Structure 1
Amino acid sequence: MTTREQWTVIKRLLKFAAPYKWFFIGSIVLSAVISGINVFLPWLLQTYMDRYLRTSNATIAIMWMFAGLYFFGMVTRALMQFWQNYTSTMGAEYMLENVRRKLFSQLHQKGMRYFDQTPGGSILSRLMNDTMTFSNFWALLNTLILAIFAVISSFAAMYFTDVTVALWTLVLVPFLGVTIWYYQRYSSKVYRRMRERLSELNTKLAEAITGISVIQEFRQERRTAANFETTNQAYYDTRKAMIRTNSLLLSPIINLFYALGTVIVLGMFGMRGLHEVVAAGVIYAFITYLNNFYSPMSNMMDSLSDFQNGMVAGSRVLRVVDDQTLAPAQHPVADAKITRGKVEFRHVTFAYDEEHPVLRDVSFVVEPGQTVALVGQTGSGKTSTINVLMRFYEFQSGQVLIDDRDIREYPAEELRTKMGLVLQEPQLFYGDIQTNIRMFNPDISDDQVQRAAHFVQADEFIDQLPEGYATPVLERGTEYSAGQRQLITFARTVVTDPKILILDEATANVDTETETMIQTGLSRIQENRTTIAIAHRLSTIQNADLILVLNRGKIVERGTNDSLMQQHGYYYDMIQLQNAAHVD
């Protein structure tokens, strides 16, 4: 990263810390106090050594006075260091919490296209690893502030102690500056590669864990392990390069400069001692000031590794924030309410990549209370029609209306409340059955949850569970059958009393007996609701008021089951194929 890019990242990270500025301001003030104490303590001992010990004027009272002052200074410095570290660290922790909260919120505002293009493991890496790493930026800021105060105060103390020797110690500063510049320039490349490899590693790991059953089914353990090892080795190589760089250019180089500075100081005082008496207290104080000058730099150089890591991680996190792949925008009108449930597509064209349309000039009308079925081969545009209606993606041309009003004029909350979606693969969340039905909505009462479950006949198996509606649901609800999970999602849908019901292959993954039970629940859900259903099992939609047959993004046939059968077209051929497959 260039210096300009790093400065841009720093300015934007400072905005995240703005709500907690008083923690950092307090840390800066305490850093100044600590630097003042670090100058005071060597001066105190220098005064005691040169004015009292060297001249034999020390008494018991003077000894105890200086000892007391020194002890008081050490205790005060310890307390100041505690509060300085506490305020800085707590400010960083609050900032980290703020960043993760905002980033999590930002992710939920992204459009589906963003998640289509970005691996889940990469997103997880940025939300957890990267945010934790660039929070270390504040550790460097804390160290940097201490270093600035320490360098200024220590050099000032050396200058007032002995001007000539103090100026000679500056000879090494240009070399130190070149070292810091080179490290910053080279290490940023190493850290960028390292963060990218870590993201790839997380992606591989998430993919392997999610697809473990398929991997074992097809005996792909060795291939998966080999792929993981390749990515892991690449990450290891970048880590090794980072360690080599840090081992050479961080603390060792600062310690070398400190040693050279000590040689310069002792040499200068030694040369002077050949011609005049040099006070021991002055030498002690000067060496202490020199140590205070370089020691914070050593800590700062050690923190530079975190800084470079944090800058790269921060830029990756900010790319998530800056990504404009947002959910389709709504332009709500104040009185827009869905009351009847009429749905209309007018010459809608839609493409996921805005170049290759998957829906082409699609038009149809679903009257309130009607059931419309979408059928067609895989890739014909059925699910894409649902994605457009649910506002998961923005369509390129045409118009979608609900109750004769443009769908973009409804608030997003109104659409989500009045439109219920049941997917082919039911998704349950960690918690319990009751929580999954109400979907964490505190406005839905326990009675509403139970009535919804009874309405779709999910209560028949829920009442037989040991803890009923409080029965735990583990990850993805794998302890329940596919039919039970689907019934829970039906109850989740009906509990909000939607006007429009959308079914995406709702019975595709269940057995015939379970399908019969689900169909009974579906028929009850569909009463007095507009329903749009996708079905591969054509026997489940033969009673639909309207069947739309799609092929390559176009509606090629429309009508009832009887009228379409009489046409002997696409729909007729699909029915014959399914009947033949059933007989076989």
Structure 2
Amino acid sequence: MNIMKNKQVLRRLVRYAVPHRKSFALAFCLLLVATTADLLGPMLIKVFIDTYLTERYFPVEPLLLLGVGYISLNMIKVVIQYFQQLKFQGIALNIIQQIRIDVFSHVHKLGLRYFDRTPTGSLVSRITNDTEAIKEMFVEVIAVFIQNGVFLIGIFIAMFILDMKLALYCLALLPFIFVLMKTYQHFSGIYYTQLREKLSQLNAKIHESLQGMGIVQVFRQEKRLRREFGDINESHYQAGVRNLKLDGLLLRPAVDVLYVLAIIGVLSYFGISVLDSPVEVGVLYAFVNYLERFFQPVNEMMQRLSMYQQAMVASKRVFELMNEGEKAPSFMKDSQATIKRGMIEFRGVTFSYDGKTNVLSNISFLIKEGQTVALVGHTGSGKSSIINLLLGFYTPKQGEILIDGQPLQTYSEEEIRRRIGLVLQDSFIFADTVKANISLHDPLILEEDVREALRFVQATPFIEDLPKSYNEVLVERGATLSSGQRQLLSFARTMVRKPKILVLDEATAHIDTETEDAIQAVLAKMKRNRTTVAIAHRLSTIQHADAILVLHKGEIVERGTHAELLEKQGLYYSMYRLQNHQGKAGGEI
């Protein structure tokens, strides 16, 4: 990451701190008080040594005042530092909380194209691990840098008060420290970028293996995945080792060498000066004490450079995600247009996921109000792509999609989501109650609406058999339910919103024949007075559709009713015969 990018990242991080500027000002004032108290301590000891230690008679009152003053300064420093650190870290936690909310919210606004090409584990790593690294920078690095920066300025002021020539000598150390920091920053930036990338790959591999655990075990892929995970883990380890070597060379050891050289220089200076004039022991003590205190914050800042570099790399990755321009297709926010009839029309629609290969070519059809139209075709023919475009997840490359005669994008997103109900073949169940899985915490959906929707799809019997009925907390992805039960919940989730258009994306693909027969009546009720678009595996389930569109390689090659298509003896006829030969239960295409 070059210097310009570092500056851009820093400016963006600073913008998050702007709303907390008053709290920062208070914390900074507390820091000044604590630093002043800390720096006055050696001055009092210097006064004690040079004024009273050489005397045979110790005046009680001045010594008592010095002692009380020294103890008071240390107590003030401890108390103020506590509140100052509390304030700084409170600000840091508020900032990182806002960053996490912003990146999480931004991810939900991204278009599906982005998720098509980005591993889920990589996104999880950015939202969790990378933001955690940024938190460490705000909690540890910034507070320490500000505190120690102020402390160093105070030390130099005290040094100039004691001895200007020696203070100028100590200023000569700053360029060496600066070069050391820049060298460390350059190399650690490279190594930490590698480390973060490998950590992201580890998360992606873990997520992939956990999501596909059933397939992994059935096909005995444990050894292969362990080997692949081990390779990535080894790369992560090697990147970590390079960081450790760099830290071991340029952090504490290099600073310690500078400290030793500085002490030698100071003692040599006093040794030469004593030939011309006597040196006050208190001044020597105070100067050595300040010099030691000078390198203490330098050491702390060098140690925090490691966290700083991790945070800068992590910030870059987080802000790259937040800068991602692959937004979901936009709708008219303030549109008053409403879907009343549910008439759907595709006019010459061509679409490509990658911008190169068309998955749909010149698709045109009209679905009138209340009609049921089925989409059939072999895998990859473009059925699901039509559904994705209808729901506004993607924008066509060419052509236009209209609902009730108006372009899709002229409606508000709220209207599209409310009036178009979707049921997928894979029903996603949240780790929440049955009631919450249906209403999705929509305040406009009452408990009675939920119960009515479940009765409508004939899911009430198995729901009421659960220990807590409608308040039963389901596990992630509904693993304790059968595929048929999960699908019924998905039906209820859609029907509770009373959509005008119903989209069934192979909604019965994972349901056994007996269960399917039981819910066909439910589907018939769901379709009543609604425009319905259905993708079907089993051709027996769409025989009563008003029209069937047969897709092949992204084009509509046949259209008509079930009887008309059989009479043509084309692709639909071949698929229908193939399924019938596979048995009355029906096969899949």
Which region of structure 1 is more displaced relative to structure 2, 211-220 or 130-139?
130-139
1:300-449 aligned within 5 A: 300-332=301-333, 334-449=335-450
Shift of 1:276: 3.1
Partner of 1:39: 39
Q: How many Å separate the matches in 2 of 1:271 and 1:542? A: 106
Partner of 1:217: 218
Q: Kindly indicate whether the alpha-carbon contact (under 8 Å) linking 2:342 and 2:369 is maintained by their aligned counterparts in 1.
A: yes
Give 3-state SS (helix, strand or coil) of 2:354's partner: coil
Unaligned stretches of 5+ in structure 2?
A: none
Partner of 1:127: 127
Shift of 1:17: 2.3
Q: Kindly indicate whether the alpha-carbon contact (under 8 Å) linking 1:419 and 1:501 is maintained by their aligned counterparts in 2.
A: yes
Q: Kindly indicate whether the alpha-carbon contact (under 8 Å) linking 1:483 and 1:518 is maintained by their aligned counterparts in 2.
A: no
Percent of residue pairs identical: 40
Q: Kindly indicate whether the alpha-carbon contact (under 8 Å) linking 1:371 and 1:546 is maintained by their aligned counterparts in 2.
A: yes
Shift of 1:259: 2.0
Q: How many Å separate the matches in 2 of 1:273 and 1:323? A: 67
Partner of 1:90: 90
1:247-326 aligned within 5 A: 247-326=248-327
Q: How many Å separate the matches in 2 of 1:267 and 1:81? A: 36
Q: Kindly indicate whether the alpha-carbon contact (under 8 Å) linking 1:191 and 1:242 is maintained by their aligned counterparts in 2.
A: yes
Q: How many Å separate the matches in 2 of 1:223 and 1:21? A: 53
Q: AA paired with 2:339?
A: I
Q: How many Å separate the matches in 1 of 2:480 and 2:328? A: 33
Shift of 1:373: 0.3
Shift of 1:57: 5.3
Q: How many Å separate the matches in 1 of 2:498 and 2:347? A: 27
Q: How many Å separate the matches in 2 of 1:167 and 1:326? A: 56
Give 3-state SS (helix, strand or coil) of 2:583's partner: helix
Q: How many Å separate the matches in 1 of 2:476 and 2:151? A: 53
- Render the CA deviation track for 1:517-576: whole Å, top value 9, x for unaligned: 222221111111111000010000000011111111111111111111111111111101
Q: Kindly indicate whether the alpha-carbon contact (under 8 Å) linking 1:333 and 1:409 is maintained by their aligned counterparts in 2.
A: no
Q: AA paired with 1:162?
A: D
CA RMSD, 1 decimal:
1.4
1:554-573 aligned within 5 A: 554-573=555-574
Shift of 1:433: 0.7
1:505-524 aligned within 5 A: 505-524=506-525
Q: Structure 1's 556 and 72: CA in aligned 2 closer, same or farther, altered over 3 A?
A: same
Q: AA paired with 1:22?
A: K
Q: How many Å separate the matches in 2 of 1:333 and 1:202? A: 40
TM-score by length of 2: 0.97
Which region of structure 1 is more displaced relative to structure 2, 545-554 or 255-264?
255-264
Q: AA paired with 2:23?
A: F
Q: How many Å separate the matches in 1 of 2:430 and 2:48? A: 71
Q: Structure 1's 333 and 14: CA in aligned 2 closer, same or farther, altered over 3 A?
A: closer
Q: How many Å separate the matches in 2 of 1:97 and 1:269? A: 52
Shift of 1:34: 2.4
Q: How many Å separate the matches in 2 of 1:355 and 1:300? A: 51
Partner of 2:480: 479
Q: How many Å separate the matches in 1 of 2:335 and 2:554? A: 34
Q: Kindly indicate whether the alpha-carbon contact (under 8 Å) linking 2:344 and 2:368 is maintained by their aligned counterparts in 1.
A: yes
Partner of 1:107: 107
Q: How many Å separate the matches in 2 of 1:256 and 1:380? A: 70
Aligned residues: 584
Which region of structure 1 is more displaced relative to structure 2, 261-270 or 337-346?
261-270
Q: Does 1:79 align with 2:97?
A: no
Q: Kindly indicate whether the alpha-carbon contact (under 8 Å) linking 1:420 and 1:494 is maintained by their aligned counterparts in 2.
A: yes
Shift of 1:19: 2.3
Shift of 1:128: 0.2
1:455-470 aligned within 5 A: 455-470=456-471
Shift of 1:253: 1.6
Give 3-state SS (helix, strand or coil) of 1:135's partner: helix
- Render the CA deviation track for 1:408-448: whole Å, top value 9, x for unaligned: 00000110011100001110000111110111212211000
Shift of 1:252: 2.0
Which region of structure 1 is more displaced relative to structure 2, 53-62 or 411-420?
53-62
Q: Structure 1's 331 and 463: CA in aligned 2 closer, same or farther, altered over 3 A?
A: same
Partner of 2:147: 146
- Render the CA deviation track for 1:427-483: whole Å, top value 9, x for unaligned: 000011111011121221100000000001011211122211111100100000000
Q: How many Å separate the matches in 2 of 1:301 and 1:24? A: 23
Partner of 2:505: 504
Unaligned stretches of 5+ in structure 1?
A: none
Shift of 1:304: 0.3
Shift of 1:24: 2.5
Q: Kindly indicate whether the alpha-carbon contact (under 8 Å) linking 1:330 and 1:412 is maintained by their aligned counterparts in 2.
A: yes
- Render the CA deviation track for 1:110-161: whole Å, top value 9, x for unaligned: 0001101110000000000001102222222212112221221111211110
- Render the CA deviation track for 1:224-255: whole Å, top value 9, x for unaligned: 10000000000000011101111111122222
Shift of 1:7: 1.0
Q: AA paired with 2:151?
A: A
Partner of 2:532: 531
Which region of structure 1 is more displaced relative to structure 2, 275-284 or 193-202?
275-284
Q: AA paired with 1:522?
A: L
TM-score by length of 1: 0.98
Partner of 2:59: 59
Q: How many Å separate the matches in 2 of 1:311 and 1:57? A: 59
